[in-house]
Chains A and B, each alone.
Chain A
Amino acid sequence: MKKTLAIVLAVLLIVTSFVSCNKKAATTTTATAAPAEVKPVLGSEPVKLIFWHSGAENDGVAIDNLVKKFNETNQYQITVEPVFQGQYADSLAVMMSMSAAGNYEELPDIMQIATGGISGFYDCEKAFSVDDAIAYFGEDIKSNYLTGALGTWVYKGEQMALPFATSTTITYYNKDLLKKAGWDHCPDTFADIIKLAADMKKAGITATVYQDVPTTSTIAPWLGQLGSYVMNGKNGTEEDGIKLECIDNGAMKTFLTEWKAMSDAGALVSGSPQKNDFYAGNVALITGTNSGVTDFIDKIGGKFELGTSTFFRVNDKASYGATPQGSALCMFDHDSDVRKAAVWEFIKFLTNAESQAEFGAATGYTPAAVGATDLPIYQEYLATHPQQAIVSEQLAKTPADMRGCSPHSVINADFYFGIQNAVKDFLSKGLSVDEGVKLVNDTLQPLLDQVALLVD
């Protein structure tokens, strides 16, 4: 806790000194005139690249394996050194420290970044966006990736990074418990959860039906299903998010109405989902990232049959889907043609269909490259992890313009906890829906006002 607090404080300090040196306001060093030919330069001399990643445990092993494969097979004398940089927040703090210090030569060539760090990366003067690279190399590779996964990494209209470890929020359910209650399928909407609660009660099942509280990751798709964004600029991906959009258009009111109905019916326990309770068979439904499937299977250990389904819909009028999330790869410009070309080769390697299928099969992440799921290695993985099959269905159903919520990194942590606390207080204090909407607005809008002041 102390360590997390220290990191958050450090990030805030760095960001406040850093935000003034906006990349776009500063001189644009990238994406200028494309060199006539880059390929011949590449391979003429050895190039060493530094790759910062946050892949812990199995993810780290899978990343090391991919890097090793690249080092052994590339034809251009490129050697990549993967360096673990701690968790995403740590990595971002390090990157921002270096940028704030103007110590650009210490920045990596490639960095793994989570959604919370995209605005920090955008502000870095040495950011080399995917759009920059496409203009520089004249090679548009965007069609190689799933549109939804690519859209997560757009910031202020610019493709900043390429999806690498992609995941989406799905529903996990205890098939055995639901069978006892007479259900052979997972609830689809909040109203279905209420019906399931009633049936579980009738069947004498005392387990918790559903325990959850919305976070930045889940509120964005729930409001997105209702055709709304949490905040302006498509949830802050097209422009800085400085105004809550979901208040005026009534989407937050609709969401809170359905959420309260679940709570009032005894179908919802308001609080963060407790995976351990689910593993132990004490909770019937839980939402979580699909990349955790292997962990779910291991921890349940055959105690009950695990089912997966698409992310709950708010009501039967809502569309299906949840935004792809996870992490992406971003590039830095070190003012060297050969190094830039080497980075481009490496990032294409890590995100191509073969690498994505291999990484997905090793870690549980969903390949974001088109065609990767059809490759034998991923098909074999799906055969042993059938719960992952739902992900493709969900991604196909997710509207193309649905976006994850990307508050500015200055307020990212406060926003994340702000939503949770406001919705929890709304239920625990027995407020009306209108009062709940006001509480959400009063909690989150002041945070966005801080961003407005900063960008001014």
Chain B
Amino acid sequence: MMTRRQKRITEDVIVSVIAIVLGLIIIFPIIYAVLGAFKTSHEFLNPKLLPNSFKYLKNFQDALRKGNLIRYSVNSFVIALIGTTVRLVFSILAAYAFAYYDWKGKQICFFLVLGTMMIPGDILLITNYITVSRMHILNTYLACMITSFVSGSQMFMLRQRFMSIPKDMREAAQIDGYGDLYYIARILVPISKPVLTTLFVQSFINIWNAYLWPLIVTAGKANMRTIMVGITKLNSWESENYELVLAGVCISLIPSLILFIIMRRNMRKGGMEGALVG
């Protein structure tokens, strides 16, 4: 007969083993990409997982040169950073309105916002392109990021978060003479930091990884390309140099990883808060 302590330890061990296995499955493609990026083309054909040497950096040098990845990384970074920031600002303001104000047609507006989440992005490709083209902003950073300025899903998630915060706090702020913007900036945003951090990272990675939209709206200017287009440039039809593509992928992972490392503590809190709210 197992004691309660033994039972708990057994459960912990089983859960830990499952978590480690799942974690390894999830992280394995990244490990494979990193290891593959250090292999020569001959080594790559070998089923051995580890490269002969981690000093073999030619793939990275070639990827940077042939894919023009430095310039394209800068483009992607600017687009992802500004796009994410503006998206969050709009989402916070819209979510605040949905969470705290009552007005005629609010429910219809909210359902319209939810409705946008159900439309696949590819359907909007041509109409968005026509809009951007008529605004005469093709081949600019703005063209790449403008469609990411508004996100229905982020508005929805932030609205749910704001609704979980007692209304009394806003009333207290109002009694102290503070308006909506002050309340948002000084109270709502700081206490929603974990959720906002999670949304920031998620949004940054989504915009960073975008391919088709930046490809279309920067078609006329070579130096406006983004990093994902640069990685495609490494993938030739005739010569399948996967090690080169993997080196490009590793380079493209760096900003997302740095962002994740910086913000991981807040993201973990966000996950836990989400669990409590749920």
A interface residue numbers (CB < 8 A to B): 3, 6-7, 9-10, 13-14, 17, 50, 52, 56-61, 81-87, 90, 93-94, 97-98, 100-101, 103, 106, 108, 167, 275-276, 279-280, 289, 291-292, 294-295, 298-299, 301, 363-364
Contacts and interface: CB of A to CB of B under 8 A. Distances in A.
B238 to A, nearest CB: 5
B219 A98 contact: yes
B126 A301 contact: no
Specify which of A86, A94, A291 lies most central, judged by the most chain B CB atoms within 10 Å of its CB: A86
B232 interface: yes
Contacts of A14: 125-126
Given A13-B126, A100-B126, A56 B232 contact: yes
Contacts of A17: 126
Interface in B189-222: 211-212, 215-216, 219-222
B239 interface: yes
B222 A295 contact: no
Question: Majority SS of interface residues in chain A?
Answer: helix
B109 interface: no
A82 B45 CA distance: 33
Nearest to A6: B122
B232 A58 contact: no
B147 to A, nearest CB: 14
21 contacts: A13-B123, A14-B126, A56-B233, A56-B237, A57-B233, A57-B235, A57-B241, A57-B244, A58-B236, A83-B222, A84-B232, A85-B219, A86-B215, A87-B232, A90-B212, A90-B215, A94-B216, A97-B126, A106-B220, A279-B45, A299-B41
A3 B122 contact: no
A364 B238 contact: yes
A56 B215 contact: no
Nearest to B232: A86
B273 interface: no
Contacts of B221: 81, 83
Interface of B: 41-42, 45, 66, 122-123, 125-126, 129-130, 133, 138, 211-212, 215-216, 219-222, 225, 229, 232-241, 244
A289 B239 CA distance: 11
A10 B123 CA distance: 8
Q: Give the top 8 A-B pairs by smallest Cβ distance, nearest first.
A: A295-B239, A57-B236, A56-B236, A83-B222, A101-B130, A292-B238, A291-B238, A103-B133
Given A81-B222, A84-B225, A10 B125 contact: yes
Specify which of A97, A292, A299 lies most central, judged by the most chain B CB atoms within 10 Å of its CB: A97
A301 B236 contact: no
B122 A10 contact: yes
Given A6-B212, A10-B122, A90-B232, A298 B41 contact: yes
Contacts of B211: 3, 86
Contacts of A60: 66, 233
A358 to B, nearest CB: 17
Specify which of A7, A81, A83, A299 lies most central, judged by the most chain B CB atoms within 10 Å of its CB: A83
A301 B42 CA distance: 7
Nearest to A3: B211
